Structure 1
Amino acid sequence: MKRIYDFSRNPAKRNYTISDLQALKGTGKKLSMANPANAPELRACIEAGIDLFVVGGDQIDEVREIAPHHFTGVGSSWAQFGSTAEILDHAFEMMRKGGDLYYTLRSFETMETLAREGIPVQSHIGLIPTFSHYCGGLRAWGRKADEAMQIFETLKRMEDAGVVAVEAECIAEEVLEAVNLKTSIVTFSLGSGNAGDAVFSFVADICGEASEEDKPPKHAHSFGNVGRLHKQVHQERVAALKEFHKEVAATNFPYPETNVTMHDGEKAKFLEALDKWAPTHS
C-alpha cells in the first residue's frame, strides 16, 4: 500500500499509483480490472482481490467510502458535456472526490487540456461502442495491417497529448502485443488478449449475469453463473407475490398474527365511547 496525497491534497493510501502502473510495462505482471456498479459489487470485488476499478461519476463517493485504497478510474460519457470547459470542471470534481484517473472520449485537444492541468487522462482505442455508427456496427479492430497502424498512430497521438492510459477494446491480440511496449500509455485490455498491462472485464460478464437472449460478446467469458441465481430470485419473487395476491383476494391476509390489537379491555371502552359520541357544534 502506497502513501500518497490524493488530488484534493488529502493524505491517502492506494494499492497502486499511476507510477506503479507505468512501471508494470514489460514486467509480465498483469493486473485485474472491473467495473463494480454498486455497494455489493464493490465489496465482492474487494474480497475477490480485484486490483483496479473503473466507475461512473455518480459512484465515486461510494467507492471512496467502501474502497478507500483502491485505484479507481472515473469519467464522463461522450455526450455528457458539450464543451471542454464543462469536461474540465467535471474532471476536477472527480479528482477532488478521490478519482485516480479521468476517462474521456473527446478530442485530442480536450485530452491535452486536461493533461496540461495535471489531470491523469484515460481514453479509448479500438472498438468504441459510442462510435460504432462510423464503422458499420460492433466489430473487432486491427485485423488488417492498415487498421493496425491506425491504432498505433492514434495511440502515439494520445501519448503526445499527455494521455496516461487507454481502454483497448476488441483489438487483435497481435496488434496490442506489438504496440504496447512502444508507448508509455498504460493499456487496459478488454477483449484484446493478454498483451495489455491490465485485463479489464465487466462484473456482469465475469459473474455470468447475462441471459441467453442477451448474446454477450465473444470476449465476455463467464467465471460464474449469477444469472441462474437472478432467475431463481425472480421466480421466488413472482411466487411470493402470487401467494400474497391470492390470500388478499380470499380475505385471508392480513393474518391474525400479523395484526395489531388493542390492549385487554380497551375495545369495550372504545366501542362504548363510540356509541355515545355526538358531534359538537360551535
Structure 2
Amino acid sequence: MKRIYDFSRSPAERNYTIADLQALKGSGKKLSMSNPANADELRACIEAGIDLLVVWESQIEEVRQIAPTHFAGVSSTWAQFGSAQEIMDHAFDMMRKGGDMYYTLRSFDVMEMLAKEGIPVQSHIGLIPTFSHYCGGLRGFGRKADEAMEIYKTLKRMEDVGVFAVEAECIAEEVLEAVNDKTSIVTFSLGSGMAGDVIMSFVADVCGEASEEDTPPKHAHAFGNVGRLHKQIHEERVAALGEFHREVVAEKFPYASTNIGMHAGEKEKFLEALDKWTPTHQ
C-alpha cells in the first residue's frame, strides 16, 4: 500500500499508483480490472482481490467509502458534455471526489488539455461501441495490416498528447503484442489478448450473468453462473407474487397471523364509544 495525497490534497493510500501502472511495462506482471456497477458488486470485487476498478461518476464517492485504497478510474460518456470547459470541470470534480484517472473518448485536443492540467487521462482504441455505427457494427479490429497500423498510429498520437492509459478493446492479439512495448501508454486489454499490461473484463461477463437468450461477446468468458441464480430469483419472485394475488382474490389474505388485534376488552369499549359518538359540527 502506497501513501499518497489524492487530487483534493487529502492524505490517502492506494494499492496502485500511476507510477506503479507505468512500471508494468516489461515487468511480466499482470493486473486485473473490472467495472462494479453497485455497492454489492464493488464489495465482491474487493473481496475477490481485483486490482483496479473503473466506475461511473455517480459511484466514485461510494467507492471511496467502501474501497478507500483501491485505484479507481472514473468514466464519462462521449456525448455527456458539449464544451471543452464542461469536460475540464467534470474531470476536476471527479478527481476531487477520489478518482485516480479520467476516461474520455473526446478529441486529441481535449485529451491534451486534460493531460496538461495533470489529469491522468485514459482513452480507448480498437472497438469503441459508441462509434460502432461508423465501422460497420460491433467487430474485431486490426485483423488486416493496414487497420493494425492505424491502431498503432492512433496509440502514438494519444501518447504524444499525454494520454496515460487506454482500453484496448477487441484488437487482434498479434497487434497488441507487437505494439505494447512500443508505447509508454498503459494498456487495459479487453478481448485483445495477453499482451496488455492490465487484463480487463466486465463484472457481468466474469460472473456469467447473461440470460440464456443473450449472445455474449467473443471476449466474454463466464467464470461463474450468476445468470442461473438471477433466473431462479425471478421464478421465485413470480411464484410468490402469484400466490399472494390468488390469496387476495380468494379473500384469504391477510392471514390472522399477520394482522394486529386490539388488547383484550378494548374492542367492546371502542364499539360502545363509537355508537355513542355524535359529531359536534357538520
Same topology, TM > 0.5: yes
Q: CA deviation at 1:171?
A: 0.3
Percent of matched pairs sharing the same residue: 80
Whether 1:166 aligns to 2:175 is: no
Match of 2:144 in 1: 144
Q: Is the 8 A contact 1:126 1:171 kept in 2?
A: yes
Whether 1:225 aligns to 2:225 is: yes
Q: CA deviation at 1:214?
A: 1.7
Q: CA deviation at 1:211?
A: 1.2
Alignment partners' CA distance in 1, 2:80 and 2:10: 28
Q: Is the 8 A contact 1:75 1:91 kept in 2?
A: no
Q: Deviations over 1:66-95 (max 9, x none)?
A: 010100000210000011110000000000
Alignment partners' CA distance in 2, 1:250 and 1:135: 58
Match of 1:199 in 2: 199
Residue type of the alignment partner of 2:204 = A
Match of 1:26 in 2: 26
Larger displacement relative to structure 2 (105-114 or 257-266):
257-266
Q: Deviations over 1:4-28 (max 9, x none)?
A: 0000000000000010000011111
Q: CA deviation at 1:275?
A: 0.6
Match of 1:239 in 2: 239
Q: Deviations over 1:30-66 (max 9, x none)?
A: 1000000001100100010000000001100111110
Partner of 2:175: helix, strand, or coil? helix
Q: CA deviation at 1:215?
A: 0.5
Whether 1:269 aligns to 2:278 is: no
Match of 1:113 in 2: 113
Q: Deviations over 1:153-180 (max 9, x none)?
A: 0000000110000000000001001110
Q: CA deviation at 1:257?
A: 1.0
Query: TM-score, normalised to structure 2's length?
Result: 0.99
Q: Is the 8 A contact 1:75 1:94 kept in 2?
A: no
Query: TM-score, normalised to structure 1's length?
Result: 0.99
Alignment partners' CA distance in 1, 2:168 and 2:128: 9
Residue type of the alignment partner of 1:173 = E
Alignment partners' CA distance in 1, 2:118 and 2:213: 44
Q: Deviations over 1:116-149 (max 9, x none)?
A: 0100000000000000111110110001111111
Q: Is the 8 A contact 1:177 1:196 kept in 2?
A: yes
Q: CA deviation at 1:277?
A: 1.1
Match of 2:184 in 1: 184
Residue type of the alignment partner of 1:137 = G
Q: CA deviation at 1:259?
A: 0.7
Match of 1:64 in 2: 64
Q: CA deviation at 1:212?
A: 2.6
Within 5 Å, which residues of 2 pair with 1:76-91? 76-91=76-91
Q: Deviations over 1:222-255 (max 9, x none)?
A: 0000000000000000000011001111111111
Alignment partners' CA distance in 2, 1:141 and 1:156: 17
Q: CA deviation at 1:281?
A: 2.7
Alignment partners' CA distance in 2, 1:248 and 1:31: 54
Structure 2: unaligned runs, 5 residues or longer = none
Partner of 1:210: helix, strand, or coil? coil
Match of 1:123 in 2: 123
Structure 1: unaligned runs, 5 residues or longer = none
Report the RMSD for the aligned CA atoms in angstroms.
0.7
Residue type of the alignment partner of 1:280 = T
Alignment partners' CA distance in 2, 1:242 and 1:134: 47
